[in-house]
Amino acid sequence: SMMTRFALTVVRHGETRFNKEKILQGQGVDEPLSETGFKQAAAAGIFLKNVKFTHVFSSDLTRTKQTTCGILEKSKFCKDMAVKYDSRLRERKYGVAEGRALSELRAMAKAAGEECLMFTPPGGETLAQVKMRGKDFFEFLCQLILKEADEKGQFSQGAPSNSLETSLAKTFPLGKTCAPACNSDSSAPGLAASVLVVSHGAYMRNLFDYLVTDLKCSLPASLSRSELVSVSPNTGISLFIVNFEEGREVQPTVQCVCMNLQEHLNGVTETR
């Protein structure tokens, strides 16, 4: 049976002044990037410069828009790509806690007798609601890629899709996932698409939880349990390969190549 595969690269926005000061922004506080944040976005862009993206999605908040712009500016292939801004990629809504210190959220949770992570402040979204938004966006993306692959009849022209894979393999430790680029096994087609998504810490944590818990995503051996549940650093980069078998109404199989990668930040120093 035919397979459709695509790559999903997910990046958290760069640092804002409020990230540094540990103040919750959620959806209601729309801070721009700090000077450090712009440097991080540029560093992520340089790291990803050889990757050929076919689709770019960003949350519609200022910090993600600016990060996306900073990444694409450095790209060899995607400088002029149209970005789709999607409100489904917005940060978790923190209700009354937005604009307040993280320590205040912790105090509110404690007063309610709950763990901070599981606590929903008044007017905020529950973790389940954020995860539903993640699932919603992911399913929309899968449908879009499958529909486009269908229309293209991608199987008749293997070459362009292979170049997507080759461009990824230059940057990421693809290893066994990159069958077409590394051997001539024709049963695994090249990538039908390579998607960049720029989003937010709490949102990404819930999206990744959906991929790992619900879709039983396979994980790199080097990934520890604590890394799996931690929030991505600013401009942390994660890569997933999503694989569909044609004509079967089944969940896709998902493979995580890396999660919350931050080696591109080694040269980026905090600006005081």
The CATH number linked to 35 is 3.40.50.1240
For residue 101, tell me if it sits in a domain: no
Confirm if 232 and 205 have CB atoms less than 8 A apart: yes
Helix axes 62-73, 35-47, angle to 10 degrees: 40
Confirm if 9 and 82 have CB atoms less than 8 A apart: no
For residue 106, tell me if it sits in a domain: no
- Note down pLDDT in tens along the chain; length 272 residues: 578 899 999 999 999 999 999 999 999 999 999 999 999 999 999 999 999 999 999 999 999 999 999 999 999 999 999 999 999 999 999 999 999 999 999 999 999 999 998 999 999 999 999 999 999 999 999 999 999 988 877 555 444 556 899 899 999 988 655 444 444 444 556 899 999 999 999 999 999 999 999 999 999 988 988 888 899 999 999 999 999 887 666 689 999 999 999 999 998 876 55
For residue 105, tell me if it sits in a domain: no
C-beta neighbour count of 72 within 10 angstroms: 23
Determine the structural domain holding residue 22 and report its residue range. Answer: 3-93+126-265
For residue 113, tell me if it sits in a domain: no
For residue 40, tell me if it sits in a domain: yes
| AA letter at 251 | Q
At residue 270, the pLDDT reads 65
Strand partners, 241: 7, 255
At residue 229, the pLDDT reads 86
> Max alpha carbon distance in the chain (Å)?
61
At residue 236, the pLDDT reads 97
CA distance 194 to 54: 5
Strand partners, 226: none
Q: Provide the annotated binding site for substrate.
A: 12-19, 63, 91-94
CA distance 45 to 41: 6
For residue 272, tell me if it sits in a domain: no
Task: Characterize 200-228 residue by residue with b for buried, 16 or more Cβ atoms within 10 angstroms of its Cβ, and e for exposed.
Answer: bbbbbbbbbbbbbeebebebeeeeeeeee
C-beta neighbour count of 122 within 10 angstroms: 9
For residue 142, tell me if it sits in a domain: yes
Confirm if 242 and 254 have CB atoms less than 8 A apart: yes
At residue 249, the pLDDT reads 67
* DSSP assignment string, 255-266: EEEEEEE-GGGT
| Active-site hit among 31, 91, 98, 125 | 91
For residue 112, tell me if it sits in a domain: no
- Tell me the whole-structure pTM to 2 decimals: 0.92
At residue 188, the pLDDT reads 59
Cβ within 8 Å of residue 58, ≥6 positions away: 64, 65, 67, 68, 83, 84, 85, 86, 89, 197, 198, 199
SS3 216: coil
- Tally of structural domains, the chain: 1
Known catalytic residue at 264? no
Q: Provide the annotated binding site.
A: 12-19, 63, 91-94
Known catalytic residue at 13? yes
